[in-house]
């Protein structure tokens, strides 16, 4: 779970590392993680966000993510692009 959190954090913070302001996309990611809308992201909110994402990906609700479930996620992401 720790690796998932690290990957999640790097993914959401690596878009424009050297920009002075957040892009619209980065603001959306920030707002997604800021579950209580206090303009801060706590470790608790990251845990909750990771759990929500895990639940969305784990289609069969067995507590594990399979390659098939990742493929389904890729299809959904591709559809919304």
For 53-58, the CB contacts below 8 A with 24+ separation are: 53/8, 54/4
Q: Rounded mean pLDDT of 23-50?
A: 91
- DSSP per residue, 11-51: HHH-TTTT-SS--HHHHHHHHHH-TT-SS---HHHHHHHHH
Q: How confident is the model at residue 63, as a pLDDT?
A: 95
Q: What confidence score (pLDDT) does residue 79 get?
A: 84
Q: Can you give the residue ranges of every domain in the chain? A: 2-80
pLDDT at 6: 63
């Amino acid at each position: 779970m720790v690796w998932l959190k690290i990957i999640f954090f790097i993914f959401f913070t690596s878009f424009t590392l050297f920009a002075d302001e957040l892009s619209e996309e980065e603001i959306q990611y920030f707002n997604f993680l800021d579950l209580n809308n206090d303009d801060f992201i706590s470790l608790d909110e990251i845990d909750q966000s990771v759990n929500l994402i895990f639940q969305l990906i784990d289609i069969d609700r067995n507590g594990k993510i399979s390659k098939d479930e990742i493929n389904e996620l890729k299809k959904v992401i591709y559809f919304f692009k």
